Amino acid sequence: MQVREIYDLLDEISPFSSQASWDNSGLNVGSMNSEVQRVYLGLDVDSFSVEEMENESLLIVHHPLIFKELKSLNFDRYPSSLIQKLIRKNISVVAMHTNFDLSHLNRYVVSEVLGFKTCVTEEYICYFEPQTSFEEIVLDVKKAFGMETTRVVKCNNFVQRCALTTGSGGDLINRVDADCFISGDLKYHTALEARENSLSLIEVGHFESEQYFSECLSFHLKNLPLKVIMSNYKNPFEYR
């Protein structure tokens, strides 16, 4: 099966044309005409996952391996080092980033991970109504994402309407119309702004909130006539 055939299927599932202007979703490494024997799914491309992959494969990831313009290929440094390994093993890479956030991931996390089947998506923000105390929603979030601790900004005792953006959603807080916002990579000044505007925050890790990418996409690839394998990607952070 050629990369192009799988790419076209992915484009139907989540159109690449819907990605943000700064994004680089699509074919990052390889050729549309390459024949692939199996498909791997992962959050990112890293050396551990590439080492375990078979030759002549396609890796579909959430985060693009190539974000910024590459002015040189220094095979001693990331990401060029990984590009060299991928080329040697004839592994193509397709990224589904902001397009998949828009079409699937945020809603999937709210409905399947947090368990709120009724939710409304407005671009990169997914809204749901927990109708519970702030302390209770904090406990639910920690349990759902497997977190022992988290950072919060408490402005309201009761959460009627909650918003979620997977990954880094701090730049969206001015657009959030809710009592509480759940997202990752939140900065100090974001927390200060949220507190002054009476918006409670619950921070989840970038990895923790997006680790469900493979699980979500695999459901839509179950009829693919190739073996689909979950890549063994790990969080680069350790918590101590």
33 and 119 in a single domain? The answer is no
Q: How many CB atoms lie within 10 A of CB 180?
A: 27
CATH of the domain at 171: 3.40.1390.30
State the chain's mean pLDDT as an integer: 96
Rounded CA-CA distance 126/182 in Å is 10
Is the pLDDT reported for residue 234 higher than 90? no
Average pLDDT of the residues in 171-182:
97
| pLDDT class of 239 with cuts at 50, 70, 90 | confident
114 and 161 in a single domain? The answer is yes
Rounded CA-CA distance 75/169 in Å is 33
On whether residue 139 sits in a domain, the answer given is yes
Rounded CA-CA distance 41/54 in Å is 13
Average pLDDT of the residues in 178-199:
97
Give per-residue burial for 74-103: e unless 16+ CB within 10 Å, then b.
Answer: eeeeebeebbebbeeebbbbbbbbbbbbbb
Average pLDDT of the residues in 164-186:
97
**Under DSSP, is residue 23 helix (H, G, I), strand (E, B) or coil?**
coil
Rounded to two decimals, the pTM is 0.94
Please count the structural domains in the chain: 2
Range of the domain at 110: 101-203
